[in-house]
Amino acid sequence: MSDATFLEYVVFFAAALMMIGGAIGVVIFANPVHSALGLVLTLFGVAVQFVAMDAHFLAAVQVIVYAGAIVVLFLFVIMLLGVDTAADLAIDPIKIQRPLAAVMGVGLLGLTAAAIVKARNSLELAPGEGIARAVDLGDHDANIRQLADSLFSDYVFAFEFTSVLLIVAVVGTVVLTRRWPRDPRSESK
């Protein structure tokens, strides 16, 4: 057994454990703050998997945008609204909901796992142009360079439209959360 392969296994299973543990934590913790911390654990696990799969830029973006911005936004809202109290999870308002959800979960996992295992042999087909690896090229920015080439040539229209999407989202949120005065005329006084 080569050391490199053994290390890959350690990294994979450690990160997988982080992802699964965090995901289960999100679902079963009664307090929303603890759920948010479970989400952070999962997001870091995903970032580690990204590094293992040579997606270095995405790993950095994952930590900065997801763990850094989105989870902080969640925590901000939890604290702003003061909902950081534990919910009683023993109460099940709709009696049959949890058994049905469990059945759906088992079914979904079974079907996707069956499809993945069945598609295993066709994974070799249709290889693309190759992913630039920093290790092979001796270029630390190889992944960023290749991703930028793809983003700013093939997907440049989609990229431009995401800026429109973000502007619309920001304006929409301001409109949604602003407290509008009851009488529009009273605002000018």
Partner 1 sequence: MIAAIETTWYLLLAALVFTIGAVGLLIRRNPLVMFMCIELMLNAVNVTFVALAFQLADIDGQTAVLFVLVVAAAEVVVGLGLIVSILRSRPGATADDLAELKG
Within 111-170, the residues that bind partner 1 by CB under 8 A are 112-113, 116-117, 120, 123, 126-132, 143, 146-147, 149-151, 154-155, 158, 162, 165-166, 168-170
2 interacts with partner 1 by CB under 8 A: yes
Per the rule left: phi > 0, alpha: psi between -120 and 50, beta: everything else, 122 is alpha
Does residue 7 belong to the site contacting partner 1 (CB under 8 A)?
no
Going by the DSSP 8-state scheme, the letter that residue 82 receives in this structure is T
109 or 137: CB nearest partner 1:
109
Q: How far is the CB of 66 from partner 1 (least distance, A)?
A: 7
Alpha carbon distance, N-terminus to C-terminus of the chain: 79
Q: Is 131 helix (H, G, I), strand (E, B) or coil?
A: coil
Closest approach of partner 1 to the CB of residue 24, in Å: 6
Contacts of partner 1 in 53-112 (CB under 8 A): 53-55, 57-58, 61-62, 65-66, 69-70, 73-74, 77-78, 80-83, 87, 93-94, 97-98, 100-102, 104-105, 108-109, 112
CB of 186 to partner 1, least distance (A): 19
CA distance to 28, 57, 103, 128, per residue, from 145 (Å): 41, 10, 45, 17
Residues 6+ apart with CB under 8 A from 67: 40, 43, 44, 47
Quote the least distance from Cβ 55 to partner 1, whole Å.
5
Residues that bind partner 1 (rule: CB under 8 A) add up to a total of 87
Q: Which two tokens stand for residue 45?
A: 């696990």
Residue 71 near residue 39 (C-beta atoms within 8 A): yes
- Roughly what angle, to the nearest 10 degrees, separates helices 3-28 and 32-52? 160
Q: Which of 90, 96, 135, 176 binds partner 1 (CB under 8 A)?
A: 176
Nearest distance from C-beta of residue 124 to partner 1, angstroms = 8
CB of 12 to partner 1, least distance (A): 5
Q: Pick from 130, 126, 127, 163: which is nearest to 149 by CA?
A: 130
32 lies in the binding site for partner 1 (CB under 8 A): yes
